[in-house]
Chains A and B, each alone.
Chain A
Amino acid sequence: MAHAHALTHDDVMRPPAGREPGSGVYNEKLGMWVFLGSEVMFFTSLIGAYIILRFGHPEKWAPPGEVLNVPVTAVNTFLLICSSVTMVKAFASAQDGNQRALRSWLLATVLIGASFVGVQVYEYAELVHKGFVPSEGLYGSTFFTMTGFHGFHVTVGVLCMMFVTWRAFQGKYTATDHRGVEVIGLYWHFVDLVWIILFTIVYLI
């Protein structure tokens, strides 16, 4: 609210007029930031429930590493962080107007994102095979719900990213206008950040 400066009641109700620059950020980007606020609250509800349930019955959780395969997931976490890096690279290439680099980095991000989901599916299959399922106490309930919804978010992100990549191959993103790349990037970094939190509290603690 840039306009709040020293406006007393009387001068705002009458002229002189101010200038209406909005937030100075284009709609799509602002919209994504606002939407991510909503996403924060969504994960807050899941993580909040997890914390309350776990404090209520700490004994219902196995020690880290006993049920979950931490090394595999650590590698997966590393993959996701790498995909954030490739995303940054893609955005930088778009800013430079370097189409080839943009396409390659986007493609890399899609591939790494998809492999993250692939590894997660593998992890789930292994766990279910071992008999660790969502109905397996509070541990199973919270584990599958939290990681599942994160995985769902990654999947949606990969799909959107594929769309952006397709558009990049059509040359839709220029050095001056590459909003799609920036907006999907925001979402991607957010999903990555959520995973780092989830990995810490679900796998490591």
Chain B
Amino acid sequence: MASTAAVVHEPALEHAHADDRPFIRKYIFSTDHKIIGIQFLLMSLFFLLIGGMLAMVIRWQLGFPGRAMPGGGVLPETMAPGGIVLPEFYNSLVTMHGTFMVFFAIMPLLVGVFGNYLIPLKIGAPDMAFPRINMASFWIAVPAGLIMLAGFFVEGGHAAAGWTGYAPLSANPELTGVSLGQQLWCVSLIILGLSSIMGSFNYITTIINMRAPGMIWFRLPLSIWALFITAILVLLAMPILSGALIMLLFDQTLGTHFFLPAQGGQPLLWQHLFWFFGHPEVYILILPAMGMVSDIIANGSRKPIFGYTSMVLAIIAIGALGWGVWGHHMFMSGMNPTLGTGFMISTLLISVPSAIKTFNWMGTMWGGNIRFHVPMLHAVAFVSMFVIGGLSGVFMATTPVDIYIHDTYFIVAHLHYVLFGGSLFAIFAAVTFWYPKMFGRLMNPLWGKVHFWLTFIFFNAVFFPMHGLGAQGHMRRIYDPTEYEFLAPLQGVNRMITISAFLLFTAQIIFLVNFIAGWFKGAKAGPNPWQDNGLEWATPSPPPHGNFPVTPHVYRGPYEFSSPLAVDDDYLPQSRKLETDREPAVLPAGD
């Protein structure tokens, strides 16, 4: 598969920099964006696993309320005496599942891993603009994660006010019995915010200032466009959360009154701040996924991306409009109903760019010569699943319908279709796609396909029925649905979901094993196993320190698959110079 023919056209690749940095500078406190990306990958896969395990406990309790969980006996008395989950522990589980998944798994997987790994490689830069700040951004995220984990072991248990931390439940320890856990939750997220902000201004500077000659804005791969807009969203949204968390932490520790009503504080202020951050945050969790899926679908279809310009404009539009829709999380909160109407309209409009992107992905596949490699399978599944999440968003955006389905399992279904069906499938696509670049070896394609199909099937078995639960009025975040007569008939569905969830979780072991095994045993990948056009494929796998032996020059966009100009191949790398190509003007290095 590895096309040696392609390599011949590129500047001499063999002469990589000799790298004689000591081990600790090379792999631990490394300033190399590739190592930092891989460090983020290992960290966030770990938290993905933790988040998944929490979900299993949640599902057990919902499927078999009040029954001892198999193996649950290992949990301490304060959480699950005799393996039976306590309601207070259940609330912590729900809170921490959301927190770990959103902040420590999906967000770092998309932004920390692929932002780091792909940006310099794909724009033809030797590294980030600020490699040391980049390193610091990872090493700040680690203690944030450890603090978040530590919360489970403190007196009073972990935070239990939901991942959205609604005040006053989160602000007043008397309401939950949790004080230290909730404070650690705040502190950890404040630290993580700092890490994200450091990453984001680094990405932005790098993309603006360090593109290789010829890599003009409208030749950037969509993954880079998406990461660029995402970095702007992180930069501007995270500090809002930090500010809100600081106020919350002060309410808990210094006795301030920001969100506590007794002295005139406003619980809804927290919601406004949280969602003013939170909605841009959900786009942070999907835009990079959309970008990388675009790259992979074009590659798999062997076709230029359909409507590149409108794809870019849609990313920008999503990033911009995403600031004006936060109120759709607050339709039932007591916010002025006229504002609700405004937020409904803006939310409905923001589904338009999502639709544009969906149709463009389909347009890319139309007329293609589609190769179903594992990344492509996940990428197509992304489109299919994201559409379901986008369409369920229309129900919830519609205020009258949201009266009924707000805070029910319909929302749970929606957010998992966008975050698991969407973001996580895109992450599987991206990990399998760039794995050979990261480690120089391929993951096993057969097991990759097995993992894909099991995940696809059980994912839908778990989350599709949740729409139905929501339609019956099943509230979210409840410890024991059998308390309600109208929910009792749904218990069979809950059990079926739980069993599917266990199978879904089990299937992930395949991925984990394949991931680890590929590292040692995978087939050697060669520089360009997928026959792709991006600059990262024109350098060895893994790329040397400094990425490119010679700064690449860019002659065209990233999606020139099946171009008539590519005579022997069905792809045309961005850096391959054809006779008709003019040399881009080169700016001297430095400033």
Contact of A17 among B209, B213, B591 (CB under 8 A): B213
Chain B CB within 8 A of A7 CB: yes
* A48–B272 CA distance with the chains assembled, in angstroms: 10
* A18–B556 CA distance with the chains assembled, in angstroms: 10
Instruction: Give min CB distance, A59 to chain B, whole Å.
Output: 9
Flag if A49 contacts B243 (CB, 8 Å).
yes
Residues of A near B556 (CB, < 8 A) are: 13-15
Flag if B197 contacts A19 (CB, 8 Å).
no
Chain B CB within 8 A of A145 CB: yes
* A186–B212 CA distance with the chains assembled, in angstroms: 28
The secondary-structure label for the interface of chain A is helix
Bitwise, B246-270 to A at CB < 8 A (1) or not (0) is 1100100011111000011110010
* A26–B215 CA distance with the chains assembled, in angstroms: 18
> A17-B555, A22-B211, A31-B130 in contact; A12/B219 too (CB < 8 A)?
yes
Flag if A38 contacts B560 (CB, 8 Å).
no
Flag if A3 contacts B218 (CB, 8 Å).
yes
B390-398, B405-413, B476-484, B578-586: which one contacts chain A?
B578-586
Task: Specify the chain A residue showing the minimal Cβ separation from B584.
Answer: A17
> A13-B557, A41-B236 in contact; A53/B214 too (CB < 8 A)?
no
Residues of B near A41 (CB, < 8 A) are: 235-237, 239-240
> A138-B264, A149-B246 in contact; A34/B557 too (CB < 8 A)?
no
Task: Specify the chain B residue showing the minimal Cβ separation from A59.
Answer: B264
* A56–B266 CA distance with the chains assembled, in angstroms: 8
The secondary-structure label for the interface of chain B is loop
Flag if A3 contacts B217 (CB, 8 Å).
yes
> A19-B213, A31-B130 in contact; A134/B554 too (CB < 8 A)?
no
Flag if A17 contacts B214 (CB, 8 Å).
yes
Instruction: Give min CB distance, B119 to chain A, whole Å.
Output: 14
Chain B CB within 8 A of A97 CB: no
* A25–B590 CA distance with the chains assembled, in angstroms: 11
Flag if B216 contacts A20 (CB, 8 Å).
yes
* A137–B264 CA distance with the chains assembled, in angstroms: 8
Instruction: Give min CB distance, A37 to chain B, whole Å.
Output: 6
Q: State which residues 1-60 of A face B: CB under 8 Å.
A: 1, 3-4, 7, 9, 12-23, 25-27, 30-31, 34-35, 37-39, 41-46, 48-49, 52-53, 56-57, 60
Task: Specify the chain B residue showing the minimal Cβ separation from A8.
Answer: B309
Chain B CB within 8 A of A115 CB: no
Flag if B218 contacts A27 (CB, 8 Å).
no
Bitwise, B20-55 to A at CB < 8 A (1) or not (0) is 000000000000000000000000000000000000
Most interface-central of A49, A53, A133, A140 (chain B CB within 10 A): A49
Bitwise, B421-448 to A at CB < 8 A (1) or not (0) is 0000000000000000000000000000
Chain A CB within 8 A of B273 CB: yes
* A39–B560 CA distance with the chains assembled, in angstroms: 40
Instruction: Give min CB distance, B120 to chain A, whole Å.
Output: 13
B80-88, B149-157, B199-207: which one contacts chain A?
B199-207
Most interface-central of B129, B202, B254, B264 (chain A CB within 10 A): B264
Chain B CB within 8 A of A141 CB: yes
| Interface size class, chain B | 35 or more
Flag if A145 contacts B264 (CB, 8 Å).
no
Chain A CB within 8 A of B587 CB: yes
> A15-B580, A27-B130, A37-B236 in contact; A20/B263 too (CB < 8 A)?
no
Flag if A138 contacts B257 (CB, 8 Å).
yes
Chain B CB within 8 A of A135 CB: yes
Instruction: Give min CB distance, A102 to chain B, whole Å.
Output: 21
Task: Specify the chain A residue showing the minimal Cβ separation from B572.
Answer: A14
Residues of B near A133 (CB, < 8 A) are: 255
Flag if B269 contacts A134 (CB, 8 Å).
no
Contact of A20 among B239, B257, B258, B584 (CB under 8 A): B584
Chain A CB within 8 A of B304 CB: yes
Contact of B250 among A3, A30, A137, A141 (CB under 8 A): A141
Task: Specify the chain B residue showing the minimal Cβ separation from A34.
Answer: B201
> A19-B587, A34-B204 in contact; A134/B581 too (CB < 8 A)?
no
Contact of A134 among B197, B255, B582 (CB under 8 A): B255
Task: Specify the chain A residue showing the minimal Cβ separation from B585.
Answer: A19
Residues of A near B208 (CB, < 8 A) are: 22-23, 30
Residues of A near B565 (CB, < 8 A) are: 14
> A17-B582, A49-B258, A53-B258 in contact; A42/B242 too (CB < 8 A)?
yes
Flag if B256 contacts A141 (CB, 8 Å).
yes
- Nearest 10 pairs of A and B residues by beta carbon: A45-B243, A135-B255, A17-B584, A141-B256, A42-B239, A19-B585, A22-B209, A26-B591, A57-B264, A17-B214
Q: A14-B557, A141-B250 are in contact. List 15 more A-B contacts (CB 8 A).
A: A12-B218, A12-B557, A13-B219, A13-B556, A14-B556, A16-B581, A17-B213, A17-B555, A20-B216, A27-B210, A38-B200, A45-B273, A46-B247, A53-B266, A138-B265
Q: Please list the residues of chain B having a beta carbon within 8 angstroms of any beta carbon in chain A.
A: 129-130, 197, 200-202, 204-205, 208-219, 235-240, 242-244, 246-247, 250, 254-258, 263-266, 269, 272-273, 304, 308-309, 553-557, 559-560, 565, 578, 580-587, 591
